[in-house]
Chain A
């Protein structure tokens, strides 16, 4: 829902439409987001479209950046393990060539 609102303002009906959820369920979710100050609803228009506050964009961006950092760390450890596997293999081959016991 947050991802949908990130693309542009939408009414509760529009938010419920593509998914197999009731308008009531969406309304409840929007109320929670509104109470948290993450979403605002314009009062004047009949449609009352929901609007995502700017800080949520920042939050999403920072989530993804943090997650990316974590994944990067994990993959750098994987780099090290892969490099280790190679040097282990080379070491074993070297030992075999020299006929030394491992």
Chain B
């Protein structure tokens, strides 16, 4: 749910990175954090287990610049990917202005990707939101690894809505900002259209 503050002239939006366990959601945020100017970012928070698996969420506040005198701020969240953290995932999804689905391109993770998209649809429905009504993009991550599925196959399996999709290697930083920019544009365009 966006928050428009006419007093401080700010537009605040919430973006959620979704996807199966170990697909690279936290890695996306870490790369953005490392490559962003200090004045444009806040502290990155990771609520993780001792083995650095996301327990509740990661959080990164980011300033994108000004539109018509309004500062645009995006709050980036990741969900925990592991199946048994579903209750937490549902909570974090609430009020999201846009969702980035991070798919793991490895052949062995194809079913996990499909399950996670189905889980996303199910959890959004619990908040009364349809995936087709929400700014939504897909990132095919880990393109640098061997034994990965082709983008065509991933697209056929995961992108049935035909939303913008991006190839990425979050570890190397490839495609990370392209994905975020793609979704940010969709979020702001939707806000502008709906006034």
Q: Do A and B come from one complex?
A: no
